[in-house]
Structures are given as structure tokens and as C-alpha cells.
A and B are shown apart, each in its own frame.
Chain A
Amino acid sequence: MTDAAGLAATFAPEIVVLAAALLVFLLDVLGVRRLEAVGGVAVAGSGLAFLLVLADLGFAPLAAIRTIGAGAINVAPAAGASPLYFVSSFGLVFQALFLAAAFFVGLASLSRDPHEPGAPIFYGLLSLATLGMLLVALASDLIFLLLAIEITSLATYLLVGYTRRGLRPLEAAMKFYIIGAVSSTLSFFGASLLFGAYGTTDLFRLAAVAGSVGYPVLALLGYGFLVAGLAFKTTLVPFHAWAVDVYDGAPTDVSAFLAGGSKKVGVFAFFLVFLGPVLFVHPGGPGNPFSGAPFDLGPITQLLLGVLAVLTMTVGNVLALLQKEMKRLLAYSSISQAGYMLLGIAVGSPASLAGATFQVLTHVLSKGGAFLVVAGVAGLGVGPLVDDWRGLGSRRPLTSVAFALMLLSLAGVPLTIGFASKFVLFSAVVDARGYFVWLAVAGLLNSALSVFYYARILKVVFLQDPAPAGAVVGGSEPAELPAGGLGYGRAAAIAIATVAIVALGVYPQFALGPIQAAASHFYALGA
């Protein structure tokens, strides 16, 4: 499929999102800056692209708009063809998750103050970031992958500081930019070393020759730099310090997109880049990486990723326990969740990939939703500290219950999607035997630890008396929006996320089935 029509069919969701972004900027130039217009275009674009991706995944009711035939999915590119991209059902699952995150954030942001400037910039950059995320899920070449990540990164740097007012967002943008630029440099340096070692940047060729390379030192260094570069994007400890400041300083809707959406780009990149090395098991046992002889890259990579995963979840959870501010607490909890997802690739079995992907879905709905609630509640005049939320359960019962469900889902309480995803993930890790059982134990202990700070929030919200009148932080009482002060868009986004959390918690097979099928296809491709 190299003709124009074939390309258009393959890239239909990307074209829709790109068109939405360009239309938003065009409307801005033409002077149409109404929130409903620009926001509507962006939300409709991500919604339409979401339906297209679901159709390509084989979702029966949408078969009429399917653009990629079933035969063209999950086919590894032919040797020597080097088309840079390929369509896999695993990538499509991630595309659906990315688009869901963009849709929720776009929808919720429709409830912003209509007189505040910057709406076209916000929605245009949101669509561009989404475009980069969609391209990441199609990559079959390391350079294509890294450049797609950079499309997302460049858009999100600007998204953090798009208001151009107030020092906090601008400082967050500056920190985000410096860390992001350094990490992308490390990634590209790693890619250049891998190119030197293997003579190719095609991920399938890399996977095929990993371990049988003439320059093992170059390969090890290359993968090491790549781990460091991608770990920054995925907020893995010890590369996590920026995330808390950025999530804290950014406009909260943008934080929701960063935590719920663009961070998952790094997770998918980890799956794509490291499945090959992890799977490669050389029969002769570990050789000496500094001799020219072939050596076993698999166990080294697995151990490295496993250690990173345990470090990330532990440090994230412990620091979250100490936080007094709501956004920073959620940011640390987001860091610890990245550790759970990394377990999936450290183990490297079809079941663990499915578990990690399901965990990503949990995180999109629960963490993205939680940040959207925080943004809405801040609009009600509630301060940034956890203690400022006391008694919210009696003043805003519906919002509080939705928030509680999101936190319970993050903690992994039964009947929420978080329980289902953690169950699938940890049972897959235990099934892998060996020292992976200890990884699962570490994960379970961490889940128990995380319950403490989620429970503390719930106690403050539901059991403590409201703050005395007049103690509203932020000065004057804000203008009352429809739908309980949140606005229709935000209320709708929160409601959809909450319903999905409970529905998929009660009946996980609806999402788990396609994810497991996609993960096993992906595994078969990588082997």
C-alpha cells in the first residue's frame, strides 16, 4: 500500500487529528476564537479518530467506517522494505487510549472561562500532541519512533506554558523543556550508537540481530542511553524529579493530559524498543560484553527494567505519602503507576504485556479523571492543599463520589477497573516465576502502601467537617457554572470516566479481551 489512497486509509485517524489541529489554527487566524468553535473542532476530531481506530480494531458496530483491512494488521514489514511504520492491533489499542485521553481533556476544557484567551492555542497544541502520540503507535523504526515522541514533546512543552501569564506555568514549561530536550538528546545518541552497532535503526532488524552483534559495547551503551532518554519521558525513578514540578505548575487540564496521555507514549516506546532485546535469549549463557563474542542481552535488560520498575513504584508511593498538596500527591502517585506498567515489559510475556496495557487504561481513566476533578474543584474556589478539600463530600456529593471511585480504582479496590488491571498484571508477573515473583511481591506491597494516602484523601473529603465559611482560598467566590459548578463539558467527561471505571471493573472482559488478543499478536511479531 504505497499509493496515495492506501496511505490515506492507513493514516486516516492521524489525518483527522492533523486536520482538526490545522483548522483550529486557521480559525484563530481568521479571528474565530469562540471556545465552542475551536474546542468543538478539536473534540470532534479526537472523537472521530477514536471511532476510526475502534473500527480498525474490528469493533463490529463500526465496521462501515473501517479503513484498514484485517489482513493489513499485524503483518511485520518485509525485510529490506523499511517502510518506517506498520499497523499492529497493539498499536491501535494504544491509539484508542491516547485518543480517549485527548477527548476527555478536550471535553472537560470546554468548561473553561470563555473570556480567557488562549483557547485556540490550547486546542491546537492538544491536537498536535495527540497526532504525535498516534504516530508513536505506528512506528517500526527507531528514528520514526523518536521523532514522533518529539512531536508530542514539543507540543506539550508549549502546552504547559500556553497561558503566558503567571510565573508558575512558565517555569514549569522551562523545566519541562530543559529535561525533555536533554532526554531526547540522550535517546538520539543511544539510537546513533545502535545504528553503529547494527547498521540499521529498523526495530524488527534490531530485534532479529540483538545479541549477535560484533560490537556489544556499542549495543549496550546504545540501549543504556535509550533507557535513560525514555525513562525521563516515562517519569521513572531516578529520572522523575521534573514530573512533580511540571504537573504542579501546569494548568490542571494540561496536567491531566500529561499524566493520563502523553506519559503513556514513553510506556509504549519501552514496549516497542525493548521487547526484542528482552526476548532474545542466547543459548550459550551470558558471554562477556566486552569481547567480540555474542552475548545474552535479555537477562541484563530484564534485570535493569525490573530494578527501575521497583524503584519507581516504591519511591513514588513513599513520596506521595508525604505530600500535602493535591496535585503533587497525584503526580507522585502517577510516578508510582509508571512502575507498575514497566513491570509488564520487564517480564516480557504476552500476559504481562496485556496486564500493563490494561493498567494504562486504568490510569487514563482514573488519573486523567482525577486531575480533571481537581481542576473543576479548584474552579469552585477550593485551595491546593489536601486539607482544603475537607467536607467536600457533603457540599458536592456527586463530584466527591466520582473522585472517590477514581482514587479507589488507583488503589486497586475490587469492583473498579484498577482491581481488574492489577490482578491481570500481577498474576502475569507471578506466572513468570524466578525472581519475578519478588517483583510481584514488591508491587503488591506498594499497592498496600498506596492505600494509605488515598484513604487519607477520602477521610478528609467525606469524614471531616467543611471549612468554616469565609475560609475559601483564592479570594472571591467564583462565578457559578452549570452542572454543579463544574460546567457541562467537565461534568460529562468526569461522568463518562467514572461510569467506565465501574463498568469495566464489573465486566473487565469487554476491554481485556481485545487487549489480550492485541498483546499476543504483538508478542508474536517481536519474537
Chain B
Amino acid sequence: MTAGLSEFGFLALSAALLAVGLFGVLTRRNFVLLLIAIEIAMNAAILNFVYFAGFAPTAASGLDGQATAVVLIGFAATEVAVGLAIVLALNRARGSINVAEATELKL
């Protein structure tokens, strides 16, 4: 299951996904793009579970890893649903989903 990709290469891929996601969270000003960035970062964790399942000491713990990945995909979808609910409410109240315009609460 690791054909063609070295251990280092795979970890570099998931680290890059996480970095891209976190960079997006820090730079994007549009709430929907921000949600997408968070999902990219989340996929790094999911990918790790699938990958490390191949190295698990027993077959059962390997299955644990793959099952965890499936559960996390479900969780990511739930999280987006809640985020979109907040986007909708915010858009209705303010007519904009630009995060940078959130200035009602001073830091």
C-alpha cells in the first residue's frame, strides 16, 4: 500500500496539506474560503490515519486507523454544516461574509 511513495514523502505530503490549510486560515478573508482551508488541514490528519494504518502492529489496530479515517470524514462534514449555518446567519445580519469586517468586538 506504500508503493511508489516513501515514508518521508508521505509525511511531507500530509505536513504540506496541514501547512496549506493553516496558511489559508491565516490569509483568507472570505468565510467560505476559510472553511475550505480548514477542511484541507483536516484532510492531513485523515490521510495520516489511513497511511499509518498500513504500519500498525496488528491487523485490528490497522482497521482501527481506517475506521477512524471514515469517522473523521463524517466529523469534517458536520463541522462544515455548522460553519455554513453561522455563515448564513452572519450574511443575513450583515450582508457580508468578510471576516476582516468583524470589528464589533475589540481585541
> Residues of A with Cβ closer than 8 Å to B?
80, 82, 143, 147, 150, 154, 157-158, 161, 164-168, 170-175, 177-178, 181-182, 184-185, 188-189, 191-193, 195-196, 199-201, 241, 244-245, 248-249
Q: Of A147, A158, A165, A249, which one neighbours B75 at CB under 8 angstroms?
A: A147
Interface of B is mostly: helix
On whether A200 and B99 interact (CB within 8 A), knowing A185-B38, A189-B45, the answer reads no
Q: How far is the CA of A174 from the CA of B101 in the complex (A)?
A: 12
Q: Are A195 and B52 in contact (CB under 8 A)?
A: yes
Q: How far is the CA of A139 from the CA of B82 in the complex (A)?
A: 24
Q: How far is the CA of A175 from the CA of B106 in the complex (A)?
A: 12
On whether A189 and B61 interact (CB within 8 A), knowing A181-B38, A249-B104, the answer reads no
From residue A315, how far is it (CB to closest CB) to chain B in Å? 14
From residue B79, how far is it (CB to closest CB) to chain A in Å? 6
Q: Are A188 and B93 in contact (CB under 8 A)?
A: no
From residue A398, how far is it (CB to closest CB) to chain B in Å? 32
Q: Sample 22 A-B pairs with CB under 8 A, ordered by A number.
A: A82-B60, A154-B82, A157-B86, A161-B86, A164-B89, A167-B94, A171-B90, A174-B31, A174-B86, A177-B82, A181-B83, A182-B41, A185-B38, A188-B45, A192-B14, A192-B45, A192-B46, A195-B48, A196-B51, A199-B56, A241-B107, A249-B105
Q: Are A245 and B90 in contact (CB under 8 A)?
A: no
Q: Are B42 and A188 in contact (CB under 8 A)?
A: yes
Q: How far is the CA of A193 from the CA of B33 in the complex (A)?
A: 27
Q: How far is the CA of A143 from the CA of B74 in the complex (A)?
A: 13
Interface of A is mostly: helix
Q: How far is the CA of A82 from the CA of B62 in the complex (A)?
A: 13
Find chain A residues with CB under 8 A from B20 CB: none
Find chain B residues with CB under 8 A from A181 CB: 38, 79, 83
Q: How far is the CA of A196 from the CA of B10 in the complex (A)?
A: 12
Q: Are B107 and A195 in contact (CB under 8 A)?
A: no
On whether A184 and B105 interact (CB within 8 A), knowing A189-B18, A199-B61, the answer reads no
Find chain B residues with CB under 8 A from A200 CB: 56-57, 61, 64
Q: How far is the CA of A231 from the CA of B52 in the complex (A)?
A: 26
From residue B26, how far is it (CB to closest CB) to chain A in Å? 9
Q: How far is the CA of A192 from the CA of B69 in the complex (A)?
A: 10
From residue A334, how far is it (CB to closest CB) to chain B in Å? 16
Q: Are B104 and A168 in contact (CB under 8 A)?
A: yes
Q: How far is the CA of A161 from the CA of B85 in the complex (A)?
A: 10
Find chain A residues with CB under 8 A from B105 CB: 168, 171-172, 175, 245, 248-249
A-contacting residues, B38-95, CB 8 Å: 38, 41-42, 44-46, 48-49, 51-52, 55-58, 60-61, 64-65, 68, 71-72, 75, 78-79, 82-83, 85-86, 89-90, 92-94
Find chain A residues with CB under 8 A from B61 CB: 199-200
Chain B CB within 10 Å — which of A158, A166, A199 has the most?
A: A199
Q: How far is the CA of A117 from the CA of B89 in the complex (A)?
A: 15
Q: Are A195 and B86 in contact (CB under 8 A)?
A: no
B90 and chain A: residue at smallest CB distance: A170
Does B22 belong to the interface (CB within 8 Å)?
A: yes
Q: Are A195 and B49 in contact (CB under 8 A)?
A: yes
